[in-house]
């Protein structure tokens, strides 16, 4: 438990400032909702304005282990497993608090777990940003989807338009929709008839591409509350989407200072793939 005194800000702000980056805004609110915070000796469950001098007690030791599963690290890059339920920006703050000089390179959806890469110096940051921007890296996901695709493997092509008002995207078959072209490849790894586990390769990389594209094909990701079916999700006791960024292959030009990592593969091991066991 940590005890400190307020300066007249919202309770969530007091907590995040006290822990100096060790607690994100969402984690602070989670602690409040779970009644892990006392204000002047009384447990609270709603974020509220404090008064200067109010006593705050937080039942949390400040040790957040969500960024501790390191897959690879050298003097240039860092690969870490991101759990679901945390935004990439919040996860970056955790990584940075434990790895001085870490640079933010790319994103995963809040409810997608898997491999995230970070740079550890300016030179590596430039090379990694180039690789993601120009899609020279190969990104693979595992997804458990509803039903069984007719083809064992396929390359799906469609057009994606963002719906900013509803924070979603829409998929169209025809380019006349004005959407951006997307390409998603998949292979069926296993199926039990009701659901299937796919290996998905992102050829293009747009917002919610895998989730929306597979749903458009009639095979939404189990646990996806935005593009799926809550009735089906409840049937499979899926509270989180079963989508994991499980493999990443680096590609660098011979002139790159990171060429020694060319063809380097990062692959999640079985203990981090618990979603995909029939």
Nearest C-alpha neighbor of 194 from the set 134, 227, 264, 145: 145
pLDDT of residue 275: 76
What residues contact residue 100 under an 8 Å CB cut-off, 6+ apart?
none
- Ordered DSSP codes for 45-111: -S--B--TT-EEEE---S--GGG--EEEE-SSEEEEEEPTTS-HHHHHHHHHHHSTT-EE-----TT
pLDDT of residue 21: 64
Distance CA 275, CA 271 (A): 10
**Where does residue 107 rank: exposed (0-12), middle (13-18), buried (19+ CB within 10 A)?**
middle
- Ordered DSSP codes for 211-254: HHHHHHTT-PBTT-TTTS-HHHHHHTT-SS--EEEEEEE----T
- What are the start and end residues of each CATH 3.10.290.10 domain in the chain? 2-58
- What are the start and end residues of each CATH 3.30.2350.10 domain in the chain? 65-137+250-276, 141-244
Nearest C-alpha neighbor of 112 from the set 249, 248, 260, 275: 275
Instruction: Please state the separation of Cα 53 from the chain's center in Å.
Output: 38
- 10-residue averages of pLDDT along the chain (278 residues): 94 89 81 95 95 94 82 97 92 91 95 96 98 96 96 97 91 92 97 95 94 97 96 93 97 97 95 75
Per-residue pLDDT reduced to its tens digit, 152-193: 999 999 999 999 888 899 999 999 889 999 999 999 999 998
Q: Does CATH place domain 65-137+250-276 in 3.30.2350.10?
A: yes
Q: Which CATH homologous superfamily contains domain 141-244?
A: Pseudouridine synthase (3.30.2350.10)
pLDDT of residue 273: 85
Q: Which CATH homologous superfamily contains domain 2-58?
A: RNA-binding S4 domain (3.10.290.10)
3-state secondary structure 161-187: EEEHHHCEEEEECCHHHCCEEEEEEEE
């Amino acid at each position: 438990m940590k005890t400190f005194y307020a300066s007249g800000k919202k309770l969530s702000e007091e907590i995040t400032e006290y822990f100096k980056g060790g607690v994100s805004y969402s984690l602070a609110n989670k602690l409040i909702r779970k009644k892990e915070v006392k204000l002047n000796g009384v447990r609270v469950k709603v974020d509220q304005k404090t008064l200067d001098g109010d006593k705050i007690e937080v039942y949390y030791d400040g040790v957040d282990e969500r960024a501790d599963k390191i897959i690879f690290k050298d003097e240039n890059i860092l690969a870490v497993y991101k759990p679901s339920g945390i935004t990439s920006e919040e996860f970056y703050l955790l990584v940075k608090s434990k790895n001085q000089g870490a640079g933010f390179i790319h994103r995963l959806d809040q409810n997608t777990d898997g491999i995230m890469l970070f740079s550890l110096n300016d030179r590596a940051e430039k090379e990694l940003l180039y690789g993601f921007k120009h899609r020279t890296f190969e990104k693979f996901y595992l997804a458990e989807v509803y039903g069984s695709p007719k083809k064992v493997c396929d390359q799906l092509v469609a057009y994606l338009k963002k719906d900013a008002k509803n924070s979603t995207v829409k998929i169209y078959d025809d380019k006349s929709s004005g959407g951006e072209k997307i390409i998603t490849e998949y292979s069926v790894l296993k199926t039990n008839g009701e659901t299937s586990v796919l290996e998905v390769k992102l050829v293009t990389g747009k917002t919610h591409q895998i989730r929306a594209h597979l749903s458009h094909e009639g095979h939404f990701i189990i646990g996806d509350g935005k593009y799926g079916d809550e009735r089906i999700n409840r049937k499979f006791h899926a509270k989180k989407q079963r989508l994991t960024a499980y493999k990443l292959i680096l590609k660098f030009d011979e002139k790159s200072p990171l060429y020694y990592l060319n063809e380097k593969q990062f692959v999640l091991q079985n203990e981090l793939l618990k979603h995909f066991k029939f």
